Amino acid sequence: MLHPRNAERFAATWLDPHPSVADVVDRYWHVRWALPAGERIDQRIIDHPAVTLTIESGDVPAPLVVTGVQSGAWRRRITESGSVFAIRLRPAGLAVVSDLDVRELADATTPVTPALDDRLHRLLATIEPAADAPARALAADAAIGALLHERPLDPELQLANAVLVELADRVRRRTGTTLAARFGVTDRAVQRALARTVGHGPKWVARRVRLQEVARVLSTDASVELADLAVRLGYADQSHLSNDFRGVVGLTPGAYQRSVREAAAAAVTLPQ
């Protein structure tokens, strides 16, 4: 979330999936909001390289939605009142719960209808009637568990999951081991696994995961120096970090850092 103080305007909950479906679901989350008339929040997020399923109500695009992997910062305008229950899938997840190709969903937020994908629509329609977020998470565990029983993960899907975990771990540590060597496969096998499940190769996925860490640090540590952050995260230099961040977010890291500071200062001076 590029402006985490916006989260203070929401009632947000994160829920872990049951271990039996953890190869399919990374996380459940739920948000609810009620803004004054005429107010809006323009939220931007450098999202995880994942497909997300949502059940939505209120001032929302559609009641059942699938959001594909985004090449840029994901944007959402929030107004009036509403709620979202979300299922963030792991790379293997889409192939289990849907008949869609991940490339069909790229850079889009699409209403889920029977015509789009009957398997996915039946899943979300089964979860939707549950009374609240914990009940929806339980319903999702049961329904996704049944779909996983029908379609167990094949080795390529298992590899995709493992590669994403490894790339996320590597943001905070240095390693000279290639992904292929780490998993005892060929470079081409890694490429195929991620192309099938995320729609991008390992270099793109690694870049996205690293940019998430850049945004997290810049939004939570006002004192961090960009040159130090570049070294810490393995960029060649500060200019490479800046160019990478600006290409996705549309702002330089310095401009983004200033916007976070200004928002924090404005929040402090608002009347109570």
The pLDDT tens digits of the residues spanning 3-27 come to 444 444 556 789 999 999 999 999 9
Check: CB of residue 68 under 8 Å from CB of residue 88: no
Given a cut of 50, the residues of the chain with pLDDT beneath it are: 1-8, 266-272
pLDDT at 73: 67
> 42: Cβ–Cβ under 8 A, 6 or more apart, which residues?
75, 76, 77, 78
pLDDT at 123: 98
pTM confidence score: 0.84
pLDDT at 270: 35
The pLDDT tens digits of the residues spanning 82-94 come to 889 999 999 999 9
pLDDT at 221: 78
